[in-house]
A and B are shown apart, each in its own frame.
Chain A
Amino acid sequence: MTQTDLLAGLAIEIVSIFALIIMLTDALVERSTRLCETLSIVGLLGGLAASAYAHLTMPGQTAFNGMIVVGGMSTLYDAIFCGAGIMTVLLAREYLTRVGGMFDEFYTLLMMSIAGMMLMGHSADSMPMFVGLEVMSICFYVMAGLMRNKLSSNEAALKYFLLGAFASGFLLYGIALVYGSVGSTAYSAIAAKALSTQFPTLFWVGIGMMIIGLGFKVAAFPFHQWAPDVYHGAPTVVTGFMSTAGKAAAFSGFVGFIAPTMASGVPGLEKAKVILALLAVGSMLVGNITALAQTNVKRMLAYSSVAHAGYLMIGLAAGNAAGWTGITYYLVAYLFMQIGAFAVVGILERENGGNLTVDDYRGLARRRPGLALVMSLFMFSLTGIPPFAGFFGKYYLFNAAIQADLTWLAIVGVVSSVISVWFYLGLVVIMYFREPLGEMEGGEASISSRTALALSIIGTLLIGLIPQAIINIAAR
């Protein structure tokens, strides 16, 4: 381990050290919520700064014996994870106080999960990827059950834990089989040696198991059954964080291990692409069609997040450079619009899951015009209407599919986007053109929540207007 290694991994190190500091603060200082909040934001900003520094000074370098890679897409992943973390921290205190959640370990768990995600985003080897995934997942299991007194929260945590452990097993077994067939866990070596391996069947069974494991983590069809229950039962701020940063982390791992293999021209690649394309089609259609039938806004967003995993998998199935940048761009866009949408849901939510049904949003525009406007903006962006970020995300992904001769996949993508118009814009219609049912006591949004909302709005608009900036960072 040299100084260069330490500098390359500085972003991960800063976030991990802050996670430990926050844990100590929580234990040693009385009523430390505000202090922990500040420390989290400082730590995440520090992580961002370190990541930007590494991006500028050592782009494309590897460190720790080729275990992690610096710069390029990994910088954007860091920005996604830290950005999601900052917005979640800003939203958390107000929400958790209101719905009676537990604070004690929230900030520590959040920081630790971000450290795990960053390790995934930086990994150039299956081992750090798996370690990062586990660090992230274990924190998520606990965060899903943060509301200890609520049955649905407990159910979410237990369900997520049992199924998640199962998926991790698949992933690890896949890694082991791939290692068995090519004799290496490093992504570049896997791709290089796959051409000459004596055990091609073993190799593809391993890759298939890795796809199952990661497919579970991104909530892609047919491994998505856990998502609605977990997203519904978990505290809304945690759901927002899990469904954006968690998904982004799993996709960063996915792209990391599959991109070199896709570029290597191993025989059997075409079949793998077809399987990924089928997973994408299933996720998009099942997610969007099931979301049509939901009466609970949180469940609706959960199913639609399955569909978004499907759009992202188009990029994987395309398997070309346009696909990888498309995925990264979409993840950034998705971060802002999805966290923003969940922020609005969280601000309106009452104790015991009140104000969560679609009917509760009737006439929202009259009582909370600001919130209704913001929510509509996120809904438009999630649908994929220009000039918002969601449109360009889909544009890049569908474009990648067409470049890879998968035009039919792009068409399915467009069709399922059209299906999603029904429930996204349906919510907008309900907010603006329906009479309210009864009274709705309003929860005031605090300054920090407003800041988080403002960040999401700026993000959704800005990266929609200057999409090229994101692409340039990813390509570096």
Chain B
Amino acid sequence: MIEQYIPVIAMIVTGILFGVVSVKAHEILGPQRPNKSKETPYESGMEPVASAHERFSVKFYLVAMLFILFDIEIVFMYPWAASFRELGGFALWAMLLFVVTLFVGYIYIVKKKALKWD
């Protein structure tokens, strides 16, 4: 029983070692001459303008949430479409039911102006 798991354990140990060794080796072997511009998060990037910890409008979250909803619809649609013939009539009705339910939700979000940006 346990022998079967040896590759998994070896994998985990290698993963941890690789992470720790590569970070520590760089710290020990490399020369360290810090200066101000090297300490910035993006050494050769744009000058930071302000803190990223801002409050975003709730609209962003709303759009993200609705995206997931319809994304899931597609996730279900693809396997169904790929094996439509084998699944037959029952799957067609089940899919119709699913799509109609989601469509009701779509009407709801449109009417509640969830997709209006301003």
How many positions in chain A have a CB within 8 Å of any CB in the partner chain?
8
User: Is the Cβ of B90 less than 8 Å from the Cβ of A27?
Assistant: no
User: Is the Cβ of A24 less than 8 Å from the Cβ of B101?
Assistant: no
Q: Which of B30-38, B43-51, B69-77, B103-111 contacts A (4 or more CB under 8 A)?
A: B103-111
A20 to B108: give the CA distance in the assembly, Å: 10
A104 to B109: give the CA distance in the assembly, Å: 13
Of A1, A24, A104, which contacts B104 at CB under 8 A? A24
User: Is the Cβ of A24 less than 8 Å from the Cβ of B90?
Assistant: no
B48 CB → nearest A CB, Å: 31
B94 CB → nearest A CB, Å: 8
Q: Does B55 contact A (CB under 8 A)?
A: no
Q: Secondary structure at chain B's binding surface: helix, strand, loop or mixed? A: helix
Which of chain A's residues have a CB closer than 8 A to the CB of B85?
A: none
User: Is the Cβ of B107 less than 8 Å from the Cβ of A27?
Assistant: yes
Which of chain B's residues have a CB closer than 8 A to the CB of A1?
A: 90, 94
A1 to B107: give the CA distance in the assembly, Å: 29
Which of chain B's residues have a CB closer than 8 A to the CB of A24?
A: 104, 107-108
A-B contact number at CB 8 A: 18
B65 CB → nearest A CB, Å: 12
Which B residue sits closest to A27, measured CB to CB? B111
A452 CB → nearest B CB, Å: 28
Which B residue sits closest to A1, measured CB to CB? B90
Which of chain A's residues have a CB closer than 8 A to the CB of B105?
A: 23
User: Is the Cβ of B90 less than 8 Å from the Cβ of A20?
Assistant: no
Q: Does A28 contact B (CB under 8 A)?
A: yes
B96 CB → nearest A CB, Å: 13
Of B94, B101, B112, which contacts A20 at CB under 8 A? B101
Q: Which of A1-24 contact B (CB under 8 A)?
A: 1, 20, 23-24
A24 to B109: give the CA distance in the assembly, Å: 10
User: Is the Cβ of A27 less than 8 Å from the Cβ of B101?
Assistant: no
Q: Which of B64-118 contact A (CB under 8 A)?
A: 90, 94, 101, 104-105, 107-108, 111-112
- 18 of the cross-chain contacts (CB-CB < 8 Å) are A1-B90, A1-B94, A20-B101, A20-B104, A23-B104, A23-B105, A23-B108, A24-B104, A24-B107, A24-B108, A26-B108, A27-B107, A27-B108, A27-B111, A27-B112, A28-B107, A28-B111, A104-B112
Give the top 8 A-B pairs by smallest Cβ distance, nearest first. A27-B111, A27-B108, A20-B104, A23-B108, A24-B104, A27-B112, A28-B111, A27-B107
